[in-house]
Amino acid sequence: MESFSVSASSPTIELQLYTFIQEQVFFLLMRNCKGIWENAIEREWTKFCLLIKEHLIIHVVQELYLA
- At 31-43, the pLDDT tens digits run 556 666 666 666 5
Give every CB contact of residue 14 below 8 A, 6+ residues apart in sequence: 3, 4, 5, 6
Q: How far from 67 is each of 22, 34, 62, 64, CA to CA, in Å?
A: 25, 42, 16, 10
Report if pTM > 0.75.
Answer: no
pLDDT of residue 2: 45
pLDDT of 53 higher than 50: yes
pLDDT of residue 32: 58
Q: What is the mean pLDDT of residues 2-11?
A: 50
**Distance between CA 11 and CA 18 in Å, rounded?**
14
